[in-house]
Amino acid sequence: MGIVGFCGHTGRTLLQILIHHPGVEVTYLADQDTKEFDKSNLCGIHPVRMEENFDPKEASQFADLFFLALPHTISMLFVDELLKNGKKVIDFSADFRFPDLSIYEEWYQTKHKNPELLSQAVYGLPEIFREEIKKAKLLANPGCYPTASILGLLPLIKEKLLEKEIIIDAKSGASGAGKKLTTSSTFSAINENLKAYKVNCHQHAPEIKMILERVAEKTEIDLTFVPHLIPMNKGLLTTIYVSLNKEMGTGEILNLYQKFYGSEPFVKVLGEGEFPQTRDVLGTNYCRIGVTANKNKAIIVSTIDNLMKGAASQAVQNMNIMFGWEETMGLL
């Protein structure tokens, strides 16, 4: 396997998982910060190539699948060449998440370079699209907020139990913002502080809306989404407020969730009165979910590790599915 962008938060997390994955050999690594990378983090493995600049053509000879842990708008430059060479691609960016080109171009403020590939990309949320993922050549790995949000809502959406208005109050640790340097990414700016940001204008909102509407079979959803920056390194929690189209008890909803996710290896539904903490999922591929209801209102709390189920380990789960391996391989 190859990782492009292996020195970022997500890339490093992915590298550690793949190094210990019994079915995988890491053969190719590229990152512009390769020179500063401490090779002791390779735990004794020896990739065939470690490059600063990624040349998809040349790289293609060294791996069957490439993980692109690159910023939005960069990934799309490389995918075409990789696919032409018969390689599989798991892309961490948003570049191939939206079949509807206009949504992407509006929210990411850029012209798409390879819109013709959008139709063959599969959205990599196994709990919904497992069958499509099995056959995918180009997989768009979901965003962190969408993963937690959609998994928190999926059983209710699927069973058509929701009114159209959904409110998601989301909270994430600082690694969610990547390694960019800004005045708002310093320790002093984040430590002992709390803020909402991109209030109702975060780019993950249309991603959540799109998938929920697809699951709901085109019923329109009215989504309010407000993310908050929490003074911690990792962890993501969403508190979701919905109206049901009938009165349901907490036990009834939990039953539904437990049944729905019963065979899912990485979704854990908690018992009545229990709610998840981010700490419970750190370093794991799990999503943990708690629910409470009162009359026709329900509150769902879901939590993931933003770098794991929200990025790197979910990509590995997708890889396992794409190669027909045991879905939990390397992830427990």
Residues acting as catalytic residues: 144
* Separation CA 312–CA 318 (nearest Å): 10
21 near its own copies, judged by CB under 8 A? no
Binding residues for its own copies, rule CB under 8 A, total 60
Nearest CB to its own copies, comparing residues 140 and 269: 269
179 near its own copies, judged by CB under 8 A? yes
CB of 112 to its own copies, least distance (A): 27
Scan residues 273-292 and list those touching its own copies (CB under 8 A): 275-280, 282-283, 286, 290, 292
191 near its own copies, judged by CB under 8 A? yes
* One residue of 50, 103, 216, 232 binding its own copies per CB under 8 A: 232
Site stretch for its own copies (CB under 8 A), options 85-93, 109-117, 132-140, 195-203: 195-203
Burial class (CB in 10 A: 0-12, 13-18, 19+), 56: buried
The DSSP bridge partners found for residue 171 are 228, 237
* One residue of 86, 183, 246, 262 binding its own copies per CB under 8 A: 183
Instruction: Determine phi and psi for 303, rounding to 5 degrees.
Output: -140, 145
The b-or-e profile of 155-168 (16+ CB within 10 A means b, else e) is bbbeeebbeeebeb
Nearest CB to its own copies, comparing residues 119 and 263: 263
Length of the chain equals 332
CB of 236 to its own copies, least distance (A): 8
What secondary structure letter does DSSP report for 271? -
* Separation CA 73–CA 35 (nearest Å): 24
- One-letter amino acid of 110: T
What separation in angstroms does the CA of 165 have from each of 112, 159, 212, 238?
A: 31, 16, 12, 16
312 near its own copies, judged by CB under 8 A? no
Beta-strand pair 65-68/2-4: parallel
The contact set with its own copies (CB under 8 A) reads 9, 38, 40, 43-44, 167, 169, 171, 173-175, 179, 181-183, 185-197, 199-200, 224, 226, 228, 230-235, 237, 239, 241, 268, 275-280, 282-283, 286, 290, 292, 294, 297, 299, 301, 303, 332
